[in-house]
Amino acid sequence: MTTMRLPELYERVSKIIPHPDWMLFEDDIAAILELKREKNAVILAHNYQTPEIFHGVADIVGDSLALARKAVDVEADVIVLAGVHFMAETAKLLNPEKTVLIPDPGAGCSLADSITPEDIALLRAAHPGVPVVTYVNTSAAVKAVSDICCTSGNAKQVVESLGVDRVLMLPDEYLAQNVARETDVELIAWKGHCEVHELFTPQDVRSMREAYPGVIVLAHPECPPEVVAEADFSGSTAVMSDFVGKQKPARVLLLTECSMSDNVAANHPDVEFVRPCNLCPHMKKISLANIREALETGRHEVTIDPAIAQDARRAVERMLTV
Ligand code: 13P
Ligand code: SF4
């Protein structure tokens, strides 16, 4: 029988990763840990990364806001972003001198694809003088023509920080509608949707409550507003994770991407996680194999056109001061 090389690490995930699967991951995990030392690299991983990445090799984990905030303090020479392309671009904007790698440059996002700088120019012409708040789930080119960015973790604070009555909040229609219910600021939305969260329905929530009595339902604010209305609580992925840690519900349902429940469950063996979820095909493009390859080969380096980098950085940095 093969001996386990990383028993302490396995201890952390033994509730969610079966032993035979872990044995298949160990070789890549051990190689990645060694490569990180050799290359002076850190791995930033979003909460939707699979548990072997999230618990096995990541140095910094969190929601989009935490990843942006923590990227500022990174001292390593190389950042590997285990997440989607806009996250890697944000890390590069905040670390122009460092090498930022994304293991699969094709890891996109339906929200980022839903809006272009030209769309924003048309919206500005139709709503003169109204400031533009864009979700970080956008390209650097879109950020560059925005006044300020936001994430699902700070959207209400960002909108209210502008001290105006009307704001263009782009591109996530549902996030804008969910925030609109919590603020007096009038929000003009766009028609972008997250292809993962738009699939949840109010009927899903009602069926789960019937099937799992007492279940506490947490919904991500990228879900349609009628789904958030049926939930007990709504917040970014980090806020959901904190809720479980602090409230310790006996049973919980996280209406979000599938790996989120796995990652939170690893830290809370006493909480029962009800598991209907939707996979993000973009987040799932990142694997141990392509993280290892990124570190070995230095591919794929994220670069941002200098003509837009300064303005895009300003929108992200302005968000971080809120
Ligand atoms: P947060 O982790 O910021 O809540 O974002 C969720 C998401 O869908 C990121 O792609
Ligand atoms: Fe984009 Fe939705 Fe995937 Fe997040 S979960 S990367 S918002 S498609």
Q: What is the CATH T-level fold of the domain 112-193, as seen in this structure? A: Rossmann fold (3.40.50)
What is the model's pLDDT at position 2?
A: 75
| Shortest-distance atom of ligand 1 to CA 62 | 2
Q: What is the CATH number of domain 7-108+283-297?
A: 3.40.50.10800
- Tell me if 112-193 shares its fold with 197-274: yes
- Taking the CA of residue 48 as reference, the ligand 2 atom at the shortest distance is 5
Please state the pTM of the whole predicted model.
Answer: 0.97
- List all residues 6 or more positions away from 12 whose beta carbon is below 8 Å from its beta carbon: 55, 266
10 is in an annotated binding site: no
282 labeled binding residue: no
Neighbours of 38 (CB within 10 A): 10
> Best of 44, 60, 61, 63 to mutate for ligand 1, by most ligand atoms within 8 A of CB?
63
Q: Cα separation of 319 and 187, whole Å?
A: 18
Residue 194 assigned as binding residue: yes
Q: Which CATH architecture has domain 197-274?
A: 3-Layer(aba) Sandwich (3.40)
Q: Whose CA is nearest to atom 3 of ligand 2?
A: 280
C-alpha span between 168 and 136 (Å, rounded): 14
Say yes or no: CB of residue 63 within 6 Å of ligand 2.
no
Domain ranges, ordered by start, for the chain: 7-108+283-297, 112-193, 197-274
Tens-binned pLDDT, residue by residue, of the chain (322 aa): 578 899 999 999 999 999 999 999 999 999 999 999 999 999 999 999 999 999 999 999 999 999 998 998 899 999 999 999 999 999 999 999 999 999 999 999 999 999 999 999 999 999 999 999 999 999 999 999 999 999 999 999 999 999 999 999 999 999 999 999 999 999 999 999 999 999 999 999 999 999 999 999 999 999 999 999 999 999 999 999 999 999 999 999 999 999 999 999 999 999 999 988 999 999 999 999 999 999 999 999 999 999 999 999 999 999 999 9
The reply to whether ligand 2 has any atom less than 6 angstroms from the CB of 283 is yes
